[in-house]
Amino acid sequence: MHVRITTPFHPAYVTAERIKKAKNLEFLLTAGIGSDHIDLPAAAAAGLTVAEVTGSNTVSVAGDELLRILILLRNFLPGYQQVVQDEWNVAGIAHRAYDLEGKTVGTVGAGRIGRLLLQRLKPFNCNLLYHDRLQIDPELEKEIGVKFEEDLDAMLPKCDVIVINTPLTEKTRGMFNKERIAKMKKGVIVVNNARGAIMDARAVADACSSGHIAGYGGDVWFPQPAPKDHPWRYMPNHAMTPHISGTTIDAQLRYADGVRDMLDRYFKGEDFPVQNYIVKEG
């Protein structure tokens, strides 16, 4: 093949070995956002172009993050399970249910998705914090009512809810290990729709079991698909799903339009929008 279209992690990782075997390959196109399922150094060494449909599912993922925050804070899932199991114990749910209003919510990463989440959280009257390499526009900070935290480890103990919105890089891989999780407030809610490998899977499961993390929700795992014995399948107080947050029908239509547009440009020898490039001709 000359062109390979994939979605993040599914159905396969684009490894250095697979790139080496594909002698005609010129272009790797991700139908979605996040090309860390591709061995990017190997793609660059082979002179390939890697691109994705930047921005295509940001609205979908941000909406899903807000949903998971509410599901976990309100202790929704055990209530649903009571109904399914023909039970009725209001006190058994209420003792772990809280309002979002007045809570401190921090996002680790304030790119497209992180900013959309902060905007959606504003009407809930939360205390909003963010940590990122770069500070967002001061006018937008003021409009949302969000405060920049330069030091991640100083931000974590302040937060009732922490949302992971940073890309997976060699710097962020395993970023939330046992030591960093210990810096979080006891009873914290954690939502991660970014990448599973940002978290130490065992450390998260242990923190959920001890109650240090009161609830963990997300749809990203490592590896993907998750094996049957993955500890997140069995840890208490979780709201995990397969990788679905960015795959609404609306998002899929945006993927399709973006893929069609970039293929059209590729065959005409035209450049893509600059923000869509991950690797350009090596």
Q: Which helix (H) or strand (E) holds 222?
A: none
Does the annotation mark 4 as catalytic? no
127 is catalytic: no
Exactly one of 115, 238, 243, 254 is catalytic; name it.
Answer: 243
Does the annotation count 195 as an active-site position? yes
Spot the catalytic one: 195, 230, 238, 254.
195
Strands 277-279 and 49-52, bridge-based pairing: antiparallel
Catalytic residue among 57, 193, 237, 276: 57
3-state secondary structure of 157: helix
Q: Which sign does the torsion angle of CA 175, 176, 179, 180 carry? A: positive
Check 224, 237, 254, 276 and give the catalytic one.
Answer: 224
For this structure, is 193 an active site residue? no
Q: How many CB atoms lie within 10 A of CB 264?
A: 10
Strand boundaries in the chain, DSSP class E: 3-6, 27-30, 49-52, 104-108, 127-131, 146-148, 161-164, 188-192, 213-218, 238-240, 277-279
Q: Name every residue whose Cβ is closer than 8 Å to that of residue 123 and which is 6 or more positions away in sequence.
A: none
Q: List active site positions.
A: 57, 195, 224, 243
